[in-house]
Amino acid sequence: MCIKTIMGEYLSKNYKKSDFPQMYKDLTIDDKINIFVDRVKWWQLDVADKIINGYIDEVGREIPKIPDSNFATLSVVLSYFEMIGKYCEGYTDKSKARHYFTKGFLIISKMMGWGGSLPITDEEVTNIKEIVEENLNTEQEREGLEKINIAQFNMRGLNEETGNILYEEARCCLYHTGITSRKIRFGDFAETFVMISVSGDRNFVIFNINPSTLPNKLLKHLQLYEEQLRNEQNVDMRKNFEKRFDYNIIGKKEE
């Protein structure tokens, strides 16, 4: 099958179908990496960064961020986690969104060093208490807040539970209702993701996201993933990438 019969004029921002006149099966893995990275970088993550942070245009003008763009930014970037999970595993089928979203989140977290305990400043503790107080439902709970000391705020490292919360309360809620659940909060903590829980209360979890830093963090991950893909010693990673790429382009499943 010729690649020009299955794609539009542009394969990505900087690559056209005319750049690859050969048969699809003759594309090199470097061709595929170039198309994939160029597409995700310039048509997804860079766009999200411009939405939430603004940018300097080609003639030097400062273009401001779009107001009230937290939800839109998340809508653009959250698909990245599931996509990475499927590319890293070489998944050649549909469905299993939760599984691969969580898998991708863990892969990215590990590569980016998002796990582990997180230090908190006095200012952040004050902000956390305000967030917690806003989410307490009864007077009894509000009275209990006074008894909670700093050590009882647990800002945990990221894990599978974190990925599931992000999938359910952000990705799915945005997809189906246009807004995240009440467990998702936006804040300007230094860390992009912070999961806040009150000791002894498994049901009380708040997930704080800083949308303004997320696109750049994922752009950095994309860069690291590209470097790994170009390393010929990463045989399995490259093989899985090609499986998923081929499936996405022509629906080719693993034999």
Q: Kindly report the three-state secondary structure assignment for every residue of 186-246.
A: ECCCCCCEEEEEECCCCCCEEEEECCCCHHHHHHHHHHHHHHHHCCCCCHHHHHHHHHHHH
Q: How many CB atoms lie within 10 A of CB 53?
A: 18
- pLDDT, tens only, 199-232: 555 556 778 899 999 999 999 999 999 999 999 9
Average pLDDT for 52-71: 95
Instruction: Give the pLDDT score at 143.
Output: 53
Question: Model-level pTM?
Answer: 0.83
State the average pLDDT for the chain.
83
Instruction: Give the pLDDT score at 191.
Output: 75
- pLDDT, tens only, 168-192: 999 999 999 999 998 898 988 777 8
Extract the tokens encoding 47. Answer: 């766009």
Instruction: Give the pLDDT score at 28.
Output: 92
DSSP, collapsed to helix, strand or coil, labels residue 62 as strand
- pLDDT, tens only, 97-137: 999 999 999 999 889 887 655 566 677 667 766 766 666 65
